[in-house]
Structure 1
Amino acid sequence: MRWTPEQVQQQLEQFRNDPSRWGTDHSKLLILVTGNLDEMYQGVAKRVQDCDTDADVFHAFTRRLSTIDVKEALAERLRPEQVARLGNQHLVFPSLDRNAYERLIADACARQVEAVRATLGLDIELTPSVLRTLYQNAVFPVQGTRPVFSTVHAVLGPSLGSAAVWSLQKLAQSASSPLREQCKLQLDMSADGKQLVMRLLNHAADAAVVAEQSLALHLEIDTLRQRAQPDFRALLAVHEAGHGLVYALLNHCAPTDVRINVASFEGGYASYAPRVAESRRMARDEICTTLAGRAAEIWVFGEDAVSTGAEEDLSSATRHAARYHRHWAMGERLSRSDVTHDVEQHVNTDIEASNAAIESTLQAELARAKQLLCDARVPFERLVAALMAQGFVDARQFGQVTGLELHARNDALEPWDAAWKRFVNKEVQTMIAAK
């Protein structure tokens, strides 16, 4: 429907001349307030450079966010009464998972392939290795879809055009070449992942290769991930395998990811699912896992060849051991020990007395990590070999690579519920026996 200027003027005058129409009933109006609350994603939202952590890790984190997190984030921007006016019905959209990114990449590639097919009448196939390469170089999970589409366009667009021209030239140059309708252009990745392999296949001859040529690709992220120096690669593989394997042995589940081909910083990492609470045993296990990288270096390379790469591990383990003794009362002291200048904070300020206990805990857990690794030499060697070969081992591959049976949930806690039921049953049995 389109109104003429005269009709618009007429409607406006009728509205002005009829006061009964000035009031508007908003009681049934649905109001949507949308926006980005980076405060909800502390520790995640600012990791814009991270192209190494799997999208599923960020997705799992953002799925746990709730209305409580929304209100806490809003409270940093608004007054309490303003937060209240926004109500309790909040839709929190998690970040995209790996499957979503893979589908987006496949769809973006399919559109480009279809455009070439419609223009040139050429059947084109992209192998899974091409899609995996695009994922590895396009996905920055915190940044969403924009880097994905721009990378697919920048990498695949020119390559697809060059491959199509090459295939048409081959068909035109050879008198024995099959007809275009019988041909398919297949794009694959080379074994080293640095070149795009163009193959002209003949459908009528069981996909026989008519012609083949490689095209160099500039994949900056993959280039950054390459650890060309064998000594550095071996160091990273041994160190991160130590972390990942000890975690698996203590928790009976696979780490989320163990990786040495990292583009966003110089090094590697092993990541684990967070837990909502820790027991005394679990706290010791976490210290042991944190020191397992250094333990692996000592075991494989010797005391004099350990690296400076464990600096952050040592800091984290020391911090955890200090809280173990000073804050959580899991050592010999019950009082909370800390430094303070506030007379209203009632803490035990004698922290020096716990220093020896902290060091003793660290030494004990380092020795335990060494023993765990020595007792699992075969899984350790398999894990190091896999990291050296492909640069990463994720949770789906971990059990197969190491040969370990890992059936526990990665967010499992101490079996407190079972302990409670045993406690109750024991009390009931005691009462029955007393009667």
Structure 2
Amino acid sequence: MQNDILLAKHERLESARAELKTRFFGIDLMIDQVIDGLKSWYFFPDFQVRPVIINLWGMTGVGKSDLIKSLPELLGLEERFYSFDCGELGPKGIGSLKIILSNLMETGKGNMKPSILLFDEFQMMKSLGDEGQELSMPESRTVWQILDSGQVELFQNTGLEDIFGIPVIDLSNALIFVVGNLDEAFLDAKSQSSDLSPDLFYQRSKKINLSDIKRALSYRFRSEQIARLGNNHIIYPSLDSNAYKKIIAEELRKIKCWILDKVGIQVEFAESVNQWLFDEGVVPTQGVRPLKSTIRYAVEDKMSSLFFDAKNCGKSINRIGVDYFNSKLVASFYENDEKVEEKEYTATEKTIPLKSSKNDDQQAITAVHESGHAIVLMDLTGKIPNQLLSVSSESGVEGLLNFDSEYVLSPEMLKNRMAVLFGGFEAERLVFGIDKVTDGSSHDIESATELAMICIKRYGFGSELILFAISKEDFCHGIHSIEAIEDRVKEFLKNAQQQTVIILQREKRLLMEMAAILCDKPSLTPEEVKKLVQQYGTEEINNAISKERIGYRESLLRKVEENRSTYEKIKPNLDLSAN
């Protein structure tokens, strides 16, 4: 009998796993981790002495909360599921303790069936302020008690003990999901730009590990609180292009099914519509919400116009084909296989116009500026940019150069990075002349100077291994005199600038041809950039992008082999001298 129950539970759990993978796209691995993580609780909850805690961290809109809210329904445990918004916790405790009392406490008892608890927006329950000071959050103590032992004394120290006694809620056999957004762990998380490549952002987010999550948590919570969360942290990456395209296809499928069911007309969306929605609606740092909003205003709001026009065609329209071309939605109305009419509708676009070519002076300046950055980057590092834009949809940003940067920094890498930063200024000077260089390099100059100062003050890149204070107000155990390092910083900056000038003068033809294309075209793909280098670049820059780069690991292993070989050669002589 017990075996039959366990077998039925296993089948239901695996069915839930499969169903979740049809509802959510791009998070199959996270679904597997959640399902595998709750197995012990699902099969043997009575063996637990403490709650099972599963933490889910990621950026907004990637399906963390929705995934957990779908689980109880699929497992048939809706009546045992309790969801709490930690954003409601605070000095006034909006509903927090009241919800726990009403939902979890049986009359006069605290013995609970194995329950599922969701603490959503957990980052809002922080106990440390921006300066590391402790915050008073009395109402959060109940939550931390639950996360610790599962035992909650409801009326302790409230003055109600004489009336109610001290009833205890026992949640030691509960399954608890802690869900939150941790922007501190995700690079570029605060960017609102739709210019970022979803795939590039996805690859970066995949590198985030448990140590990164705990470091991010340490900015919000005390060490003992982080310890109560345990070690089962599931890290959501951002969604890649493939996931977004699947979401678009699924949303359009739902629209088609709804229309067919309600009005009996079959709607077919061309692939151009899918790509248009992708370009218009995807903001990599914000997940699916902006995309679904785009589908609503760009497609759903147009459906009523299509219905009325279909009725006014004078024929029995039973099929509509929808295409996208040049900011227009083109609808073809069919009666069976006969095309009756074709009509154009202005496509509602809010993002695409911001990313389209302006063909003005600003785009020309940006084309030269970003081309300069890109050429110096390729020459010094061999890296071809992942993204190269002369038009940006982000307010206050004109262009974009995106590439994979190193996770370590050395004096050589520092010089290269500063030279890349100077590439925009020197490209403008080379093309337009010193009197027509624009103010677009101010942030580059500031970043290069600040980076050099920090590296020499803190990282030992100067001539002496001394810790310098970042500023006079920084009361650390460091040297506060900065005069000793200013000359070193100036030397770094001057050498980087000279290196930039040499590279751009050598690659002037490539600079001109690349800028000419970006002057009319808003972006270049890595493949297009590489083709330009091969066609217009010198032998030096072509060798740079094809050269094998030796990393620290390979360098170490080679030196170990050299050392061993040297030792083997002198070993016989050492043995003879010993005799």
1:333 to 1:138, Cα distance in 2 relative to 1, 3 A: same
Distance in 2 of aligned mates of 1:284 and 1:203: 68
Shift of 1:308: 0.5
Query: What is the distance in 2 between the residues matched to 1:304 and 1:90?
Result: 55
Deviations 1:191-231 (A, max 9, x none): xxx322334589979xxx87544322231222333453610
Residue from 435, 441, 445 that aligns with 1:304? 435
**Contact 2:277-2:294 at 8 Å conserved across structures:** yes
Could you say which residue in structure 2 is the equivalent of 1:345?
477
Q: CA deviation at 1:242?
A: 1.6
Aligned-residue offset at 1:94: 1.7
Amino acid in structure 1 at the alignment position of 2:231: N
Pairing partner for 2:552 from 416, 423, 434: 416
Kept in 1, the 8 Å contact 2:387–2:403? The answer is yes
1:219 aligns with 2:349: yes
Contact map agreement 2:357 2:520 (CA 8 A) in 1 = no
Counterpart residue number, 1:431: 567
CA distance in 1, matches of 2:512, 2:307: 45
**Is residue 184–residue 203 contact of structure 1 (8 Å, CA) maintained in 2?**
no
1:109-258 to structure 2, matched below 5 A, reads 109-119=252-262, 122-166=265-309, 169-170=312-313, 172=315, 185-190=321-326, 194-199=327-332, 211-226=341-356, 228=358, 230-258=360-388
CA distance in 2, matches of 1:303, 1:243: 17
Alignment partner, residue 190 of structure 2: 46
Q: Mind listing any 5+ residue stretches in structure 2 that lack a counterpart?
A: 1-75, 77-105, 115-169, 536-541, 573-579
Q: Which amino acid aligns with 2:178?
A: T
| Aligned position for 1:33 | 177
Q: String of CA shifts for 1:46-84, please: whole Å, max 9, x gaps.
A: 33x322212233323332222223333334444433322
Q: Distance in 2 between matches of 1:274 and 1:97?
A: 20
**Aligned partners of 2:521, 2:260: CA distance in 1, in Å?**
34
**Amino acid paired to 2:451:** H
Residue ranges of structure 1 left out of the alignment (5+ in a row):
2-14, 173-178
2:405 is aligned with 1:274: yes
Identical aligned residues as a percent:
22
1:250 aligned counterpart, secondary structure: helix
Aligned residue for 1:359? 490
* Deviates most, 249-258 or 287-296: 249-258
1:51, 1:264 within 8 Å by CA — same for their partners in 2? yes
Establish whether residue 317 from structure 1 lines up as the match of residue 448 from structure 2: yes
Partner of 2:511: 380
Aligned length: 403
In 2, distance between residues paired with 1:203 and 1:290? 61
Q: Shift of the alpha carbon at 1:167?
A: 5.3
Contact 1:278 1:413 in 2 (8 A): no
Alpha-carbon RMSD: 3.7
1:252–1:163 Cα change, 3 Å: farther
Compute the displacement of 1:285 (Å): 0.9
The letter of the residue matching 2:505 is C
When normalised by structure 1's length, the TM-score is: 0.78
Q: Check conservation: 1:188, 1:196, Cα contact below 8 A.
A: yes
User: Aligned equivalents of 2:175 and 2:380: distance in 1?
Assistant: 50
**DSSP-derived class of the 1:52 partner:** coil
User: In structure 2, do the counterparts of structure 1 residues 401 and 344 end up closer, same or farther at CA, with 3 Å as the change threshold?
Assistant: closer
Counterpart of 1:261 in 2: which secondary structure? coil
Contact 2:317–2:333 (CA<8 Å) still a contact in 1?
no
CA contact (8 A) 2:380 2:544 kept: no
Cα separation, partners in 2 of 1:200 and 1:41, compared to 1, 3 Å: same
Partner of 1:393: 524
The question of 1:82 aligning with 2:225 is answered yes
CA shift, 1:235, in A, is 0.8
Quote the Cα distance in structure 2 between the aligned partners of 1:314 and 1:417.
Answer: 33
Cα distance in 1 for partners of 2:309, 2:532 equals: 41
Residue of 208, 214, 217 corresponding to 1:65: 208
